[in-house]
Structure 1
Amino acid sequence: MQELLRRFTKSLPSFSLNDKISAAAAAFAVLVALFTLGSLAALREQRLFHDRFEVLAASSRNIERANAAIYAVVMESRGIYMSPDRNAARRYADSQLVKLGQLTKIVEEWQELVTVDDASLFAPFKQRIDQFVTFRTEMARRTISVGSSAARELGDNDDNRAVRTALNEDLERLSRLYDDRMTELDAAADARGLVAFYLGGIGVLLVVLIAAAALALRRGVLMPLLDIARVTDRIASGRIKLTIPHARRHDEIGRVAHAVETFQNGVFRIQELEQHELQFEQQQADVLRERDRLEQGALSSQQRLDAAVANMAQALIMLDSFGYVLVVNEQYRELYGVPASIARPGAHVRDILAHRARLGLLREKPADFLAALRQRMKDGKPTTTEFELGDGRIIRVCERPMAGGGWIATHEDFTVQRRNERILARAEYFLAALLENIPQAVLAKDAQSLRYVFVNRAAETLFGLPRTEIIGRTPRELFSEPTGSILEEAAREQLAGRGDDEAQAHNIVTPGNGSRDIVVRRLPISIGEGEPKFLLSIIEDRTAAQRVAA
């Protein structure tokens, strides 16, 4: 710090007093402006953070409220199904209509908080909610006008259960989305702490610069003036063969020193001229060395930029505000089969689009595509889109504006990812269809609560109950004693690792199919490492075979 201060003080004589004062005032004004702008920006960010936090908190609460309301409606529907007479069913139907109204109000309030970024995810959820409300309202109406049998006939089907499952998935996706947004807010809060640190640093810098300016003015202005005054007094007393201090300065103080120096002889003038010439040569050499250093730095930076663009995994193209190519890499040329003579810096994007159209790799007319691109550049909003080329490839394009009106876009071949997603969806559909159509009863229980979370069609036939009356209940709640206790004890033994891995035979009394002789194979299911999350039971009904053998 002392060395920097010494160099700064030494360089002061090369500037005029006006320049020094103006530069100091400008520097202080810039720092004060930066500090003020930083403070205003921090205040604005704090307000935006608070608003986003309130929206996220309200949206998270709406997830819980909507889920609770949906569950309450489902419970009322079950009450309608299980009501022994019409009057009891009507009470459940009336309560269901009230809860449907509450659910509709919750979703309407929630929709007012949905941002543009979340609208595409919220729209299908809102549509399913509307389907759910319409369906349950019709169920309540039929219950009131006809009875629980009509409601059961309407509601006991796979379409109804599919809507409920889709609603659960939508709520889970929205919940994950809001969790991610909350994580982003935590990161933003950390960034604001860093901004506060920077603002404090600017404040400290202001204090240091004020002290440095005061010290520099004392050493660079006040002390030289006192030196010249003392020499002037000595010259006035008759001693003219003196070295005039600060005579080499080019500011007002230097001119005063030069005025005093006119009383000196030519020898001193010649010596001073020689010193000035040496200083000029030194400055010239310093300027040349600095220019060489800057040229080397600029060349090195350009080489690093070219290497980074050339080794990107994605295809990249950068345009100026008029549509001319600034940067394009080889990956872009290979992706669309465009030669380097067309896709090159300085070319217009219109020529590239025309070549792609000739190859059949552009579904739109080049003029229409260019007009849409100019509109996106005018809007200045980042976008991510996917489109399919004429050869079947799926391309993901991420576009962003640049400062000054330019545009940068990365293109990536997403064909393999999209094909894998379709293969996975078909595999999941096949597995669901397989479980529904195998003759054995397949059931899954939650490892903690032992409540049924999945049953197939064969399990419904075995128990003599629809799956809506099985899912969510434990064996003790579903079966009479001692069947419920036997099944729960066997399940807990298997989860604890004390059960037999072989199939076990039981005689159970089902809720709707009487006494059955079954053979059960129980398999604990883990997700990743750790304790089992589910218990899968595969049940074979051997009642008919046992009776034939008897």
Structure 2
Amino acid sequence: MDAAALGSGLNAGTKLFKKFVQFARGADTLSVAEKVYSIAGFLAIVTTFLLVMSVQTVRLQTTYRHMHATSAEAAINVGRINALIYAIVMESRGIYMSGDRGAMKQFADGLVRRNRELAEAVKGMERTVGDDDAEQIATFRRRIAQFIDFRQELVRRGLEISPAAAREWGDNDANRTLRSKLNSDLETLERIYRQRASNADELANENRYAAAYLFMLGLVALVLAGLNVVVMRSSVVGALAEITQATDRIADGDVKSQVPHLGRHDEIGHLARAVQHFRDAVARIFELEELELGTAQARDAARTERDNFNDKYQAKKWQLSAAINSMPQGLVMLDGKANVVAMNANYRRMYNLPETIQAGSTTLEEILQHRVKSGLFNGDVAKYVAAVLDRIARREPAANEVALNDGRTIKIYERPMDGGGWVSVHEDVTEQRQRERILERMERFLATIIENVTEGIIAKDARNHRYVFVNKAAEQMIGMSRGEIIGKTARELFSAEAAELIERRDQQLLTQKQQLEPIIDTIDNPTRGRRVISARRVQVGGAGEESHMFVTMVEDRTEKMVAAA
């Protein structure tokens, strides 16, 4: 049975091959399906190769991008680490050369910060570790850890012992040996990353060859697709067009017209003979009456659909009109040529537009001309309209404020609409701007008074007890700038005894609500020593509110007490 099936398959293949040979010699021996399937088969083969090459190209491109990105990032990290090591060494020399601990402190702080940045930079190198640099990175990481610990100890010795002790710790052979090894590690890593970049370039060259193969396969696919178009047009599309024309003539009542391609032996021939049978059937029935009846029914259905559509359109139009007229702002819609499509009643009232200006028959230029006459527009109408048309063309949203001659301030928001139109919303913000100006003037007035009173005024957030405001008098009393005070708590600024006293007074204020009678306290000032102060306290806001604050009015009575004694 297998032998019989194999023989049958060979016979079918032989017959198909003979058909192709005859077709190549000019004989129309292939059916439309055989032509199309043959071209589709070759196109599928080429597409398969194209897909395989595409996958290969994507794989090469992905590998290249990864190698190129990791090598570039790794090279940047190496450069950054080298710069940080150099900066740390410079900070160390600053510690050596400092004459006192105050000058040494800034170099020590810089060295500690650079140590943290160096540790983070080395940690960042883990993203680019590969098989080629894993061992070297591990060694380098250990040496960096030694380098950081070494410099931390140097800072400790400099701050807690002396600059000489720091210099003794840092200026030795062990330090220089570690630096030398780190330089050697960095040079080795640079060579590794240069080799990685070179490998990425080789992959790029391979990708170019793959792209060339893709181009050739795409060209072959394009030729096959063109061949398919030619075959379909000559063998199928043209014949179908002629048969379609014959069918149209028959539908128009010409039952005597000839049907082309009756002599073909493929699918087109079968279709032509089917059309001929249709023509014969049309000649034997009274299609005209049925066609007239069907046409009348279709006409009635079209009218019904048109009426339904008109009802829906009117309903939507009424809903849109009600919606825009209920808006508290003025609204105007324009088409792409700045013709007014719609406007609401608030827009008409805002600019006192007459009844002669109506949506659908008015342009933006006409509205502006009316505003010029009524004194509500001072600009160049032509330039303004040109600017609006330019924004409509570029579909660029805009927002601006204009001041009218009658004292009103109008906020205008412009946005593009689907289909090329434009919508502009106008809001009267006159009262809002007046309130803002009054509030701003009052804030400046209060700030000036508070800043220039002789009594110290201190405000802190009641939720976290951090200072949020001090005036000039309070800065002088405490002996610190407001930059040193604001954002900190009493425990961060004063001694433990003074901080406990301040916190106790805060708790009393929470209980009593207000402390308008002055309370005399003796407190240790971190910069001015022991001071006698008189303080009155009030609360602003209440518990749970964001504006809840404690405000203290302080008077330094130390000099008065000394004079009285």
Shorter chain as denominator, the TM-score bin is 0.3 to 0.5
* TM-score, scaled relative to structure 2: 0.46
Query: Which protein is bigger by CA-based radius of gyration?
Result: 2
TM-score, with normalisation over the residues of structure 1?
0.47
